[in-house]
């Protein structure tokens, strides 16, 4: 049975990815320090280890179990928080990664999938889809920590690596089991779904209305978490075919379909059949006005289709 180590395995994307690898008959070692995600599974081929991903405990596990495949998802992921507490982001996402990569070398890891983010593009001045070779100007410590992580991994030639730049991930995991539920997160679809519909005077706050976009609100490219799990899986099992003679490749993981925040809020209103008032508040610091994936390389290499925003919303309100 093929083994895989999934760091951040109890997180939101970690849980969806773990569910899929179990379904595909992998023996999954899920490591997580349970600081944000607490999504644990029960399955005969699932082993949960409460630990920091960079610990010696994990190094010993990799060696003992002769694990060759790693999906690295563990990270602090809140753009807003990273502006307030940058040290936490450099520590968790970068300095620990340095140690973890040394451990992966010692354990002779062969294949490494790294979860990066569209946050590496930052506050781009263009209003076009972003290709992987677009200049990186991250606007938050979170984005910077991911960009530095990418650069570090690309230099490592002792394993195959695929760097996946996730765009905006949303929707429930398989079987509708887990969601983006960490209380302090302020993700758009999480906040929309949290509106207390039993009250009459519900309001939803949109951050900013004067961006240079179709309707003045920010534009995003939403991807279903189940698509992301599938991308993680396909990247690993097809890594040789994807890389050909190279040792590392970076891929955008976005649907290429743009939606403004206001469009999404209106769609949510229609699909959920709930009534609430929309108000505009001040823009969020470091909020990129426009993030849209140019996914031509992704399509060429992985050829997967995306579910789309309507299904994400329908699944969320189930
Ligand atoms: O109550 C809310 C919540 C969000 N928004 C707006 O909706 C857009 C999307 O916000 P999210 O918080 O859902 O997502 P972000 O684009 O800020 O960031 C997300 O996507 C990034 C990549 O695109 C990174 O991966 C990051 O970790 C992840 O949180 C932003 O313009 C935000 O200001 C609102 O107007 N009101």
Tokens of 220: 């995003």
Q: Which domain holds residue 111?
A: 3-173+222-256+293-305
Residue 279 resides in a domain: no
Pairing of strands 259-260, 219-220: antiparallel
For residue 196, the tally of other CB atoms under 10 A from its CB is 7
Q: What is the percent of the chain with per-residue pLDDT over 90, rounded to a whole number?
A: 86
Q: How much distance in Å is there from the Cα of 237 to the middle of ligand 1?
A: 31
Residue 120 has what pLDDT? 96
- Mean pLDDT, all residues of the chain: 95
Residues with Cβ < 8 Å from 87, sequence gap 6 or more? none
Ligand 1 binding pocket includes 309 (Cβ within 6 Å): no
Question: What's the longest Cα–Cα distance across the chain?
Answer: 60
Please report the pLDDT score of residue 198 as a whole number. Answer: 61
Whose C-alpha lies nearest to ligand 1, atom 33? 207
Would 79 be classed as within a structural domain? yes
Mean pLDDT of 16-44: 97
Residue corresponding to tokens 């340095």 = 98
As a whole-number percent, the residues of the chain with pLDDT over 70 amount to 98
CA angle 205, 209, 211 (to 5 degrees): 135
Query: Residue 205 is inside which H or E element, if any?
Result: strand 203-207
Whether 8 maps to a domain, the answer reads yes
Query: Considering the domain boundaries, does residue 91 fall inside one?
Result: yes
User: Would 268 be classed as within a structural domain?
Assistant: no
Number of domains in the chain: 1
The pTM (predicted TM-score) of the whole model is: 0.96
Helix and strand element counts for the chain (H, E): 12, 13
**All residues at 6 or more sequence positions from 233 whose CB lies less than 8 Å from its CB, including other chains:** 17, 20, 21, 24
Rg (CA), the chain: 19
- pLDDT value of position 197: 62
Is the pLDDT at 82 greater than 80, yes or no? yes
The reply to whether 252 falls in a domain is: yes
Phi then psi for residue 196, to 5 deg, are -80, 100
How confident is the model over 160-206, as pLDDT tens digits? 999 999 999 999 999 999 998 877 788 999 999 988 766 666 899 99
So what's the pLDDT on residue 287?
85
Mutate to test the pocket of ligand 1, among 78, 81, 119 (most ligand atoms within 8 A of CB): 119
Residue 110 to residue 235: CA distance in whole angstroms:
13
Q: How far is Cα 147 from Cα 139, in angstroms, rounded to an integer?
A: 11
Note the pLDDT tens digit of each residue in 34-70: 999 999 999 999 999 999 999 999 999 999 999 999 9
Q: Which residues contact 285 (CB under 8 A, 6 or more apart)?
A: 80, 83
Q: Is 78 among the domain residues?
A: yes
What pLDDT score was predicted for residue 132?
Answer: 98
CATH number at residue 7: 3.40.50.720
Which one of 188, 209, 215 would you pick to mutate in the ligand 1 pocket, going by the greatest count of ligand atoms within 8 A of its CB?
A: 188
pLDDT, position 171: 96
Among 96-105, 159-168, 195-204, 257-266, which is the least confidently predicted range? 195-204
Distances (CA, A) of 80 to 164, 191, 205: 21, 15, 16
* 309-317 and 261-272 helices, crossing angle to 10°: 50
Q: How many CA atoms lie less than 13 Å away from 292 in the CB half-sphere?
A: 16
Q: Please report whether residue 83 resides in a domain.
A: yes
Q: Cα separation of 17 and 206, whole Å? A: 31
270 CB-contact burial (10 Å; exposed 0-12 / middle 13-18 / buried 19+): exposed
């Amino acid at each position: 049975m093929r083994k895989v180590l999934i760091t951040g395995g109890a997180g939101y994307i970690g849980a969806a990815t773990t569910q899929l690898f179990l379904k595909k008959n992998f023996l999954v070692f899920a490591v997580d320090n349970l600081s944000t995600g607490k999504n644990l599974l029960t399955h005969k081929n699932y082993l949960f280890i409460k630990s920091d991903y960079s610990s010696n405990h994990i190094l010993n596990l990799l060696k003992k179990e002769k694990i060759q495949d790693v999906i690295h998802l563990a990270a602090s992921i809140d753009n807003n928080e990273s502006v307030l507490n940058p040290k936490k982001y450099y520590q968790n996402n970068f300095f620990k990664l340095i140690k973890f990569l040394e451990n992966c070398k010692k354990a002779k890891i062969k294949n490494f999938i790294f979860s990066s983010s569209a946050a590496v593009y930052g506050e781009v001045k263009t209003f076009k889809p972003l290709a992987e070779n677009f200049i990186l100007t991250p606007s938050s410590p979170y984005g910077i920590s991911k960009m530095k992580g990418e650069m570090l991994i690309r230099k490592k030639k002792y394993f195959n690596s695929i760097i996946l730049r996730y765009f905006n991930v949303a929707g429930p995991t398989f079987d509708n089991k887990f969601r983006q539920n960490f209380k302090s997160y302020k993700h758009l679809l999480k906040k929309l779904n949290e509106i207390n519909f039993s009250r009459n005077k519900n309001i939803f706050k949109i951050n900013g209305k004067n961006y240079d976009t179709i309707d003045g609100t920010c534009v995003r490219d939403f991807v279903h978490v189940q698509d992301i799990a599938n991308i993680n899986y396909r990247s690993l099992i097809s890594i040789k075919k994807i890389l050909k003679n190279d040792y590392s490749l970076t891929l955008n993981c976005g649907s290429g379909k743009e939606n403004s925040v206001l469009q999404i809020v209106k769609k949510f209103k229609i699909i959920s059949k709930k009534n609430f008032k929309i108000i505009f508040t001040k823009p969020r610091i470091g909020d990129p006005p426009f993030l849209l994936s140019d996914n031509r390389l992704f399509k060429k290499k992985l050829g997967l289709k995306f579910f789309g925003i309507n299904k994400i919303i329908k699944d969320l309100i189930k």
